Amino acid sequence: MNTLYPLKFKPLFREKIWGGQKMKSSLGFDFAPGKDIGEAWMLSGVPGSQTKVSNGFLKGNELNELLEVYMDELVGEKAFTRNKEQFPVLIKFLDANDWLSVQVHPDDALAARRKLEGGKTEMWYVLDAKDGAELISGFNRKISREFYMKNLKEKTLKNILNYEPVKKGDVFYMPAGRVHALGPGILLTEIQQTSDTTYRIYDWDRLDEQGNSRELHTALALDAIDFNVPLSYRSEYTRIKNHSVNLVESPYFHTNILDFNLPIAKDYSELDSCIIYICTGGNAELSVGSGKESISAGEVLLIPAILDKITLFPRPDCKILEVYNV
C-alpha cells in the first residue's frame, strides 16, 4: 500500500437562491457554468456528495473510499471506531448574497429516532463581511414552544430572533437545536458534523425563478429547537501571533486559529486524529516527512492521522484554521 500524504480535494459547488459571486471574486474559484453559488463543499463524505482527491496518486478517489482502505491511518483510531466508513466532519465555504432561510438542525438523539444520517452541530468563521452585515443566532429572549408557534403563525417570528452584527474574523458556534440564518454580505467557512439534514422554518416569503416558495418544515423543526438562551452567542477569542488559539471545542470537532509569520513545528502524535487545515489568508508550505505541500487562501488540506509531525513555513505570513476530532 502506498504511503498517505496531505490531500487536497476538488470542491463541489451548489447554486442557491441566496448565493453570489464571492467564491470567484474573493476565493478565486472557477465554478463555471454555475451562476449564483452559495456553497462550496470542500471536504465531504456525505453520500452522493463526496469530494474527490485532486492531488497525488489517489487523485479521483472519493473521501469515504479512502476511509474504507486506510481506516484509522486516515482519521485516527477513535474517530474510525465511532464513525466507521463515514468521514466525521464536513467543511464548506458559504457566500450569502441574500438572507438564508431561518433554519434548525436536529441533534444526534432526534436524528437517531427519525432514522436520519446524524445530528448537525456546526460553527462559522467569518472570512469577510460588508458593513452592517448581520446574522441570526437563537432567540432574543427565553420563550416557550407555544409562544414560538404563535409568532410563526402570525408572521412575527422576526421579532423574537436574535440578530448579531458580523465582521471579519468573528466566530459563532451553532450547536444542533439553535435556530439560525446568515444575512447578506457574509462570506464564511462552515465546519460541521457530516450531515445534510436541515429543517427550514421561515424563508422570508420569497419565491424562486418559477414563482414557487421553498418547502417549510414547521412540524419537523418544532421538536428540534432549543429554546434556551445562552449568556453569549459569540465565541470570543484573542489572537496570539505564531500560536494556535482555540476557537471552538465541541464533542465533534476542535477548531483553532493559527496566525503566523515564523516557521511552526507541529507534533500531533497525542491527538489520534487527522488534521484539517483551512487557509483563510496568505499561503504557506508544509514539510511532512520527506514530502512538501503548499496551501493558499481558499484551500483546504487534509493531513492523515498517520502523519503527525508537520512543519509549516509561511510565505511571508499565513492564517490557518486547524481542525481535528476529539
Q: Which residues are catalytic?
A: 200
Residues 198/120, Cβ–Cβ less than 8 Å: yes
All 3 cell numbers of residue 190? 462552515
For residue 316, cis peptide bond before it (omega within 30 degrees of 0) = yes
- Nearest CA to 203 among 96, 134, 102? 102
| Residue 297: its H or E element | none
| Nearest-angstrom CA–CA distance, 89 and 100 | 22
Q: How far is CA 52 from CA 42, 64, 248, in A?
A: 9, 9, 27
Angle of CA points 319, 250, 11, to nearest 5°: 50
- Nearest CA to 81 among 314, 316, 312, 305? 305
DSSP state of 15: E
Angle of CA points 77, 79, 81, to nearest 5°: 65
Q: How far is CA 261 from CA 65, 128, 277, 284, 320, in A?
A: 36, 21, 16, 9, 12
Q: Residue 296 burial by CB count (10 A; 0-12/13-18/19+): exposed, middle or buried? A: middle
All 3 cell numbers of residue 272? 489520534
| Nearest-angstrom CA–CA distance, 303 and 267 | 12
